[in-house]
């Protein structure tokens, strides 16, 4: 799930034509329905009723329910990138950007908890069901973990995190906290799960931080390289 992967098209700046606008409206309604009922609960009939359209009208934009489900996943992934990753790119490379990514993710997940996170819930729906939907979810989850890994490696390169930090282990533990947050909120209705998740993320990053002297040395070395003709 990179910034512009082949499976997640870039947003178009031009005004969409009528057919594109209708398709976008169908996907938007389908995404809302999938958040409530899961991807398997998404049906052409119920979607058509909610939009005041005929089934054939929906089918004219999506040839099958699976095609619609895949479009919903693509839209979810694109919105996730827009809300979590893109804003964080405005922050300085390294730990500031990594912290922004995690805070944006946490805020998005906190908003989604009432209906459930499609990425997490979808993984539970399709973890043992081979096919295009499972493949798409694997690509989304794997891609997102790759983005986290790149952000952690950048923080190490900047000297903000220790060089000996196991980046993949840190991705694993960060993802684990988000999964527990989803479970505690959805299953246990825990009132303080977001606060605990935020504390856990802070503890992980604090434990991985480099010593101040290392950060100063890295910054000084970079400054010398920039000043060298």
* H-assigned helices in the chain: 18-37, 44-51, 55-59, 65-80, 86-88, 95-112, 118-126, 132-157, 167-186, 193-208, 212-227
Q: How far is 194 from 207, CA to CA, in rounded Å? A: 20
pLDDT digits (tens, 9 = 90+) for 163-206: 999 999 999 999 999 999 999 998 899 999 999 999 999 999 99
Could you tell me if residue 108 is inside a domain? yes
Number of domains in the chain: 1
Range of the domain at 117: 64-227
Letter string b/e over residues 28-51, b meaning 16 or more CB atoms within 10 A of that residue's CB: ebbbebbbeebbeebebeebbeeb
Q: How far is 160 from 93, CA to CA, in rounded Å? A: 10
Predicted TM-score (pTM) of the model is 0.83
Could you tell me if residue 212 is inside a domain? yes
Three-class SS state of 17: coil
The domain that holds 208 is classified in CATH as 1.10.357.10
Could you tell me if residue 214 is inside a domain? yes
Could you tell me if residue 8 is inside a domain? no
pLDDT digits (tens, 9 = 90+) for 75-111: 999 999 999 999 999 999 999 999 999 999 999 998 8
């Amino acid at each position: 799930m990179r910034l512009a992967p082949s499976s997640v098209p870039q947003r178009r700046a031009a005004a969409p034509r009528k057919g594109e606008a209708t398709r976008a409206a169908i996907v938007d309604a389908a995404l809302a329905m999938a958040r409530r009922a899961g991807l398997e609960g998404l049906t052409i009939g119920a979607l058509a009723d909610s939009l005041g359209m005929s089934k054939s009208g929906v089918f004219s934009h999506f040839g099958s329910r699976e095609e619609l489900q895949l479009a919903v996943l693509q839209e979810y992934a694109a919105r996730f990138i827009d809300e979590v990753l893109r804003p964080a790119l405005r922050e300085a490379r390294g730990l500031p950007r990594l912290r922004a990514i995690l805070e944006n993710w946490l805020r998005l997940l906190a908003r989604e908890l009432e209906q459930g996170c499609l990425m997490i819930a979808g993984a539970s729906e399709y973890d043992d069901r081979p096919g295009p939907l499972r493949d798409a979810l694997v690509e989304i989850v794997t891609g997102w973990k790759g983005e986290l890994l790149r952000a952690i490696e950048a923080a190490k390169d900047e000297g903000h995190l220790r060089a000996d930090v196991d980046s993949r282990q840190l991705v694993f533990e960060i993802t684990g906290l988000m999964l527990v947050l989803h479970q505690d909120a959805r299953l246990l209705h825990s009132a303080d799960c977001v606060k605990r998740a935020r504390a856990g993320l802070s503890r992980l990053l604090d434990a991985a931080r480099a010593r101040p002297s290392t950060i100063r040395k890295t910054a000084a070395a970079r400054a010398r390289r920039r000043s060298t003709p």
